């Protein structure tokens, strides 16, 4: 059986050996120098000013939405657009934090929201924010989406948990909005077992995220920032200052173990992205040309395609169901990400009305006729050819 995820880490043995040595020698394993070092390195790799490291991609999404609420950049009850085809914990924080999620359909050929599908929604709704998902290492036209958001006064942020390393028009995905989130869960581009991050160029968003990540207090801020916030709130007793809680937060902190893993894995990232891109092109060349069986996937507008799975959207449900049977016991497959969010029980229960139109959306078609298999950097040629044979 060719699994969706082949290993916990790239260069697993080396990484585990280095981790064991690190743990034996470490004085402290709660958030500290390794996490800080990772934040600095990751913001450099992503070409952003700041990175706030948290314990999962879902936590990154929650922290970002809470930080924007704390800062008054969005308000409870506001409408927020999101990609209808995404992962549950992209949209869940919107519902949990009292926002009104508005689904936006995706294009069939890029699997992503485009300026066209966004325009449709903007013609009917005033959106305070767009939380765009860059799905499976692809995107449509984030430059045009950025323009539309500017013109309509919509705050634009990205969930880039599936697209670390993809480049569009010379710019990394995750760098088109005011902030973006990442996941370092096993099987994603790089793994810290569990882990995530928010990156931004905004000092204000970074500071708020550091408080949201840890109880709403100021302990993980720089001394300069601590002084500023303590002055503002007239906290001048060192007895109370360590236990003053300035805004709404959680405990979403990472450990030094995740920090160390992040620093170890980050050095392999170019190699991981390169291998996955080569694999993807090989699969695409053979599988996507079966145009009578599958809808085409467009990626020639991307400078770098960085994905961890290969999506296949079948022309009919019958073709998809036959593939599910054919793959059984040979290659592990699954639905496309979390599918159409509006078809999920949690969305039906917690989001209000107007969803019947979604039965004819592209997101629904992809939900019902799509599947994906893993694109691991450790796939062998033999394994790739086995997969191709099943799909062609």
Ligand X SMILES: Cc1ncc(COP(=O)(O)O)c(C=O)c1O
Q: Where along the sequence are the contacts to ligand X (CB under 6 A)?
A: 56-58, 61, 86-87, 89-90, 133, 159, 161-162, 183, 185, 196, 337
Residue with tokens 């030094």: 256
Provide, rounded to whole angstroms, the least separation between the CB of residue 158 and ligand X: 10
Q: Which is closer to ligand X, CB of 89 or CB of 112? A: 89
Whole-Å CA distances, 23 to 257, 264, 270: 7, 14, 26
* DSSP sequence for 49-100: SEEEEES-HHHHHHHHHHHHHHTTSS-TT-EEEEESBS-HHHHHHHHHTT-E
First to last CA, the chain: 18
Query: What CA–CA distance (Å, rounded) separates 303 from 165?
Result: 10
Provide, rounded to whole angstroms, the least separation between the CB of residue 161 and ligand X: 4
* DSSP sequence for 183-207: E--TTSSS--SS-EEEEES-HHHHH
Q: Which is closer to ligand X, CB of 196 or CB of 262? A: 196
Edge-first strand listing for the sheet containing 309-313: 309-313, 370-374, 333-334
Provide, rounded to whole angstroms, the least separation between the CB of residue 164 and ligand X: 11
Quick check: helix, strand or coil at residue 341? helix
CB 306 within 8 A of CB 137: yes
Provide, rounded to whole angstroms, the least separation between the CB of residue 312 and ligand X: 18
Alpha helix (H) residue ranges in 160-306: 203-213, 223-232, 238-241, 256-266, 269-287
Provide, rounded to whole angstroms, the least separation between the CB of residue 178 and ligand X: 17
Provide, rounded to whole angstroms, the least separation between the CB of residue 56 and ligand X: 4
Handedness of CA 332, 338, 343, 347 (dihedral sign): positive
Query: What CA–CA distance (Å, rounded) separates 277 from 244?
Result: 48
Provide, rounded to whole angstroms, the least separation between the CB of residue 262 and ligand X: 13
Quick check: helix, strand or coil at residue 253? coil
Query: What CA–CA distance (Å, rounded) separates 187 from 358?
Result: 30
Provide, rounded to whole angstroms, the least separation between the CB of residue 357 and ligand X: 23
Provide, rounded to whole angstroms, the least separation between the CB of residue 215 and ligand X: 20
Q: Which is closer to ligand X, CB of 337 or CB of 351? A: 337
Provide, rounded to whole angstroms, the least separation between the CB of residue 186 and ligand X: 9
Residue 13: exposure state from Cβ atoms within 10 A (0-12, 13-18, ≥19): exposed
Residue nearest to ligand X (CB): 57
- Packing angle of the helix pair 142-152, 115-122 (nearest 10 deg): 20
């Amino acid at each position: 059986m060719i699994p969706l995820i082949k290993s916990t880490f790239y260069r697993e043995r080396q990484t585990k050996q280095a981790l064991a040595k690190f743990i034996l020698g470490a004085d402290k394993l709660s958030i500290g120098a390794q996490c800080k070092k990772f934040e600095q390195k990751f913001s450099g790799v992503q070409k952003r000013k700041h990175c706030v490291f948290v314990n999962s991609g879902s936590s990154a999404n929650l922290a970002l939405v809470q930080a924007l609420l704390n800062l008054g950049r969005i308000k409870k009850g506001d409408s927020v657009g999101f990609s209808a085809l995404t992962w549950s914990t992209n949209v869940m924080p919107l519902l949990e934090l009292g926002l009104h999620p508005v689904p936006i359909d995706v294009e069939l050929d890029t699997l992503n929201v485009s300026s066209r599908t966004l325009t449709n929604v903007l013609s009917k709704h005033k959106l305070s924010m767009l939380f765009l998902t860059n799905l499976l290492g692809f995107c449509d036209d984030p430059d045009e989406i950025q323009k539309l958001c500017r013109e309509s006064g919509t705050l634009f942020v990205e969930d880039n948990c599936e697209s670390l390393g993809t480049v569009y028009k010379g710019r990394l995905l995750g760098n088109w909005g005011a902030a973006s989130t990442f996941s370092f869960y096993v099987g994603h581009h790089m793994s810290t077992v569990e882990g995530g991050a928010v990156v931004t160029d905004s000092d204000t968003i970074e500071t708020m995220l550091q408080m949201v990540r840890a109880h709403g207090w100021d302990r993980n801020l720089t001394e300069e920032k601590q002084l500023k916030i303590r002055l503002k709130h007239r906290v001048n007793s060192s007895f109370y200052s360590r236990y003053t809680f300035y805004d709404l937060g959680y405990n979403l902190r990472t450990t030094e173990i995740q920090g160390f893993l992040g620093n170890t894995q980050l050095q392999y990232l170019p190699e991981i992205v390169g291998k996955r891109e080569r694999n993807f092109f090989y699969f695409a060349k053979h599988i996507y040309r079966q145009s009578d069986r599958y809808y085409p996937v467009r990626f020639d507008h991307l400078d770098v395609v960085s994905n961890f799975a290969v999506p296949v959207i079948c022309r009919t449900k019958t073709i998809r169901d036959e593939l599910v049977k054919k793959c059984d016991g040979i290659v592990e497959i699954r639905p496309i990400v979390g599918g159409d969010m509006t078809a999920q029980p949690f969305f039906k229960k917690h989001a209000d009305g107007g969803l019947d139109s979604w039965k004819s959306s592209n997101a629904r078609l992809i939900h019902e006729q799509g599947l994906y298999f893993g694109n691991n950097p450790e796939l062998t040629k033999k394994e790739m050819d086995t997969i191709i044979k099943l799909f062609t």
